[in-house]
Amino acid sequence: MTQKQNMASPRILAEGAAIIASILLAFWIDAWWEGREQDELGQRYLVGLREDFAQIESELGEHIAFTAGVMRSAEKVLTMASGPDSELLTDSFSKTLGDTYSLNAPNLTTPTYHDMINSGNLRLVRDSALRMKMAELISLMQNIDEQAGVINETYWLHHASFMDKHFVVSEFGWYSNPSSQTAKERFRIMGKPPQSPFDIDVSAVRTREFWNLIYDWTVTHGDQLGPSIAAKSLCRELLVMLDEEIGATI
């Protein structure tokens, strides 16, 4: 009996070792497969981030140009307000004033980044410098969005009533000469506004209140222009970093 047990022991040990090896191999395969899936998911996220930031960079470029145009129009209004009264009674003044009060908030969205935050998958971006840059961009975007709200609120609280009281709003640029596709479509449906029998209140243009309103409008837009330029520059940095990260993980 003892001799049979001694003969079986090596076989039992071999079978046990084979079982343990099989289990360890299965664990290794599962870990390898999970790691591969995580790598593929991380790669898709990186590509998505690149697409989001490229779109944001383009949107910011258009917004910077728009904001700079508003500020130039405001400066032109102030220049005309400092000139002879005849300059204030032209169609050019009404259009320039209307261009000054064009409102356009940028549409800055990062669906991929927010999906990574909500799902806990931001960890798949292994480069800590890249994660910090993205967080910095999100902060700048929030600043830009908040400033857009300030601009809109400032117009309706402080500017709209003055404009309605002293100017002919229907002759502003966004009514008389629409430029955006949406405005053109609205213009096509509604038609051209009727010619107003009213003139601009020149005496209102000569007031300190009007000067300060226009000047403060320029400053308010300048407060948004700075973060917009910084965010666009940061987008460019992120796109370069993402290209490098995507190339390194392929």
Share the mean pLDDT of the chain. 81
* Token pair belonging to 164: 């309605």
Q: Which two tokens stand for residue 64?
A: 């910077």
Domains held by the chain: number: 1
Check residue 210 and give its pLDDT.
94
| Residue-wise burial string across 184-199, b where 16 or more C-beta atoms lie within 10 A, e elsewhere | eeebeeeeeeeeeeee
Query: Is the predicted pLDDT of residue 247 greater than 60, yes or no?
Result: yes
* Higher per-residue confidence, 165 vs 181: 165
What average pLDDT score do residues 224-249 get?
A: 90
What pLDDT is stored for residue 146 in this prediction?
93
Quick: pLDDT tens for 94-114. 888 888 988 888 889 999 999
Domain of residue 194, residue span: 2-249
- What's the pLDDT tens digit per position in 171-185? 665 554 555 565 666
Which pLDDT score is estimated for 168?
A: 76
40-87 pLDDT per residue, tens: 878 899 999 999 999 999 999 999 999 999 999 999 999 988 888 777
Q: Write the pLDDT tens digit of every residue in 189-206.
A: 666 666 666 777 888 888
Contact 52, 110 (CB under 8 A): yes
